[in-house]
Amino acid sequence: MHASAVLIEGAKKLSLAEIGLKDPEAGDVVVRVQHSGISTGTEKLLWSGAMPPFPGLAYPLVPGYEAVGEVVDATAGTGHKVGDFVFVPGSSGFREAKGLFGGSASYLVTPADRVRTIDPALGDSGTLFALAATARHALAGFYARLPELIIGHGVLGRLLARLTVVAGGKPPTVWEVDRNRMPGAQGYQVIHPDQDTKRDYQSIYDASGCTDLLDQWIQRCGRGAEIVLAGFYSERINFAFPHAFMREMKFRIAAEWSADDMTAINALIDEGILSLDGLVTHRAKAADAKRAYVQAFEDPTCYKMVLDWEALN
């Protein structure tokens, strides 16, 4: 079996290539991918060569962990059938490349327990399931407080804000410095940091991935406040200790989503409580992946780029 796949061979060395797939084993499914999302967090680090040492990181690799498509083969006992529309958080089923995270390909071979059946009416918005589950995981962490302030109005920041409102929390404030990213709020306000006079936030969630603004956020906190780092950070994180000391600050790192998060997100979407509308801003044919990746990482108006694989299946 072969598939067309995005292949990264090193820093800014990206191409679309034909690549061999491993034969399906017991418990595997084969998925014909319809759409895959481009992550401006981890994938940008892989593409730029800035990804810090990470388990399994080696080149060449197939990136991506946001694929949706149709099951075209399912071994017995998988719980899936041909025709199911599923979300796939990547695959390691490639012969000539590493699967980190392995979702940006026209066909995927993956264990069935990694696949989640979703509503086909979602279309390419289904690629956002991993980000939605990541946002839910951050909010549902150990002793978590819902955010009063969210840094960044990209897709993750929007999902954190939407989930906070869905959970019945007070609508959070969202900081954004790029005017292009300010529109689109649903039940909360988005402002430039300079417009905000509040100095006693108790819970701040970072969805920007910035590492050089932590001192500013600390000085906006009240005593006993918590800062949650919900992004992925390639640089060392440093802060001035005295300001945090005086406030008895807490810092929490939100890890990747779990199966429970995915189940919760699926239920919220199926019941019409959580909307993924308006989050995919750009689309491109998979054959044009090289240009699409550059635009996803360098165009500030691009919140989320999705590749369409239909022509290559």
State pTM to two decimals. 0.93
Do 308 and 232 lie in one domain? The reply is: no
Among the candidates 253, 276, 304, a domain finishes at: 253
Do 29 and 122 lie in one domain? The reply is: yes
Among the candidates 236, 253, 270, a domain finishes at: 253
CA atoms of 40 and 168, how far apart (whole Å): 29
Specify if 229 maps to a domain: yes
pLDDT digits (tens, 9 = 90+) for 85-106: 999 999 999 998 987 689 999 9
- Say if residue 55's pLDDT is above 90: no
Diameter of the chain by CA atoms?
Answer: 60
pLDDT at position 41 is 87
Specify if 32 maps to a domain: yes
Average pLDDT over residues 164-180: 96
pLDDT digits (tens, 9 = 90+) for 234-284: 888 999 999 999 999 999 999 889 999 999 999 999 999 999 999 999 999
Do 78 and 127 lie in one domain? The reply is: yes
Do 196 and 243 lie in one domain? The reply is: yes
Among the candidates 209, 235, 253, a domain finishes at: 253
Do 111 and 151 lie in one domain? The reply is: no
Do 77 and 92 lie in one domain? The reply is: yes
Do 272 and 126 lie in one domain? The reply is: yes
Average pLDDT over residues 223-237: 92
Do 105 and 19 lie in one domain? The reply is: yes
Range of the domain at 185: 142-253
CA atoms of 212 and 155, how far apart (whole Å): 21
CATH of the domain at 191: 3.40.50.720
The count of structural domains within the chain is 2
Do 178 and 118 lie in one domain? The reply is: no
pLDDT at position 50 is 87
pLDDT at position 30 is 97
Specify if 137 maps to a domain: no
Specify if 295 maps to a domain: yes
pLDDT digits (tens, 9 = 90+) for 104-142: 999 999 999 999 999 999 999 999 999 999 999 999 977
Specify if 157 maps to a domain: yes
Do 149 and 206 lie in one domain? The reply is: yes
Quick one: pLDDT band at residue 167, thresholds 50, 70, 90?
very high
How crowded is the C-beta side of 16, counted as CA atoms within 13 Å? 17
Average pLDDT over residues 49-54: 83
Return all residues near 52 (Cβ < 8 A) that are at least 6 apart. 45, 234
Residue among 170, 180, 179, 174 at smallest CA distance from 156? 174
Do 163 and 188 lie in one domain? The reply is: yes
pLDDT at position 275 is 96
Do 41 and 162 lie in one domain? The reply is: no
CATH of the domain at 290: 3.90.180.10
* 300 upstream amide cis, omega within 30 of 0: no
- Say if residue 56's pLDDT is above 80: no
Whether the CA torsion 233, 239, 244, 248 is positive or negative: it is: positive
pLDDT digits (tens, 9 = 90+) for 57-87: 888 999 999 999 999 999 888 999 999 999 9
- Say if residue 24's pLDDT is above 80: yes
| C-alpha distance from residue 98 to each of 5, 34, 94, 313 (Å) | 12, 21, 7, 21
Quick one: pLDDT band at residue 51, thresholds 50, 70, 90?
confident
